[in-house]
Structure 1
Amino acid sequence: MNCPCGKGLYETCCGKFHEGKELASNAEELMRSRYSAFVLKNEPYLLSTWHSSTRPQEPLFNEDPTQWTGLTVKHFSEASDRLSATVEFVAIYKINGKAHRLHEISSFVCEDKQWLYVDGQFPKIK
Structure 2
Amino acid sequence: MAPRSCLCGLPAPYQDCCGRLHRGEAAAATAEQLMRSRFTAFGMGDEAYLLRTWHPSARPARAGLDRKVRWVRLEVLETTGGSVVHAEGTVRFRAHYVERGRAGEMEEHSRFVRLDGRWVYAGAL
Aligned to 1:22: 26
CA RMSD, 1 decimal: 1.6
For structure 1, the 5+ residue unaligned runs are: 122-126
For 1:70, the equivalent position in structure 2 comes to 73
Instruction: Identify which range, 99-108 or 76-85, moves more after superposition.
Output: 76-85
* Corresponding residue for residue 118 of structure 1: 122
2:54 to 40, 45, 50: 50
Deviation at 1:98, TM superposition (A): 1.2
Matched AA of 1:5? C
CA distance in 2, matches of 1:89, 1:58: 22
Among 5, 8, 14, the alignment partner of 1:5 is 8
Normalization by structure 2: what TM-score? 0.90
Q: Which runs of 4+ in 1 moved over 6 A?
A: none
Alpha-carbon distance change, 3 to 79 in structure 1, aligned in 2, over 3 angstroms: closer
Counterparts of 1:49 and 1:79, CA distance in 2: 15
Offset from partner CA, 1:8-36 (integer Å, 9 cap, x none)? 21111101100100100010000000000
> Counterparts of 2:22 and 2:82 in 1: how far apart (Å)?
25
User: CA–CA distance in 1 between the matches of 2:92 and 2:82?
Assistant: 15
Residue 38 of structure 1 aligns to which amino acid in structure 2? F
Determine if contact 2:81/2:89 at 8 Å carries over to the other structure.
Answer: yes
Query: Separation in 1 of the partners of 2:53 and 2:108?
Result: 17
**Structure 2 CA distance for partners of 1:23 and 1:46, relative to 1, 3 Å:** same
The one-letter amino acid of 1:75's match is E
**Following TM superposition, by how much is the alpha carbon of 1:64 offset from its aligned partner in structure 2, in angstroms?**
2.6
Aligned residues: 120
Structure 2 unaligned spans of 5+: none
